[in-house]
Amino acid sequence: MATDCIFCKLANNEIPTNLIYEDDNVVAFNDLAPQAPTHFLVIPKKHYSSLNEISSQEEFGNIFSVVPKICAKLGIKEYRTVINTGASAGQTVFHIHVHVMAGREFGWPAG
């Protein structure tokens, strides 16, 4: 756990949050500043600052395989998934997270 990392604190319940999903490896919670009617984040409990730090298929699988499960639970069939890697790509929190957004039309290419 990175002591100054807000998402580590959320994942370890040091900052109380309404989790929409939790298992041994990951948690999911609604984004503080939603960019769509549904906008939640999936993060590993273990700290990785970005996708560049993930080399294990297992860890990658952990954060992605829960996305369709959570969406099914929420009754969502169409959604946008995004991982921003690095500041120029829009990453602002340096603990890897998968954005899952739904409930509106999304443009392409992403801005």
Residues within the interface to ligand 5GP (CB under 6 A): 6, 29-33, 84, 90-93
User: Among the residues of 29-91, which ranges form H helices?
Assistant: 57-74
Q: Give CA–CA dist 51/91, Å, rounded.
A: 11
Q: Which does 90 bind (CB under 5 to 8 A by kind): Zn ion, ligand 5GP, none?
A: ligand 5GP
Distance CA 110, CA 46 (A): 28
Q: Is 97 a known active-site residue?
A: yes
Q: Quick one: 44 or 66, whose CB is closer to Zn ion?
A: 44
**Alpha helices, H only, 2-101:** 6-11, 57-74
The encoded tokens of residue 54 equal: 């993930």
| 2 binding Zn ion? (CB under 5 A) | yes
Minimum gap (Å) between residue 9 Cβ and Zn ion: 8
In the complex, the residues that contact Zn ion under the rule CB under 5 A are: 2, 5, 7-8, 47, 95
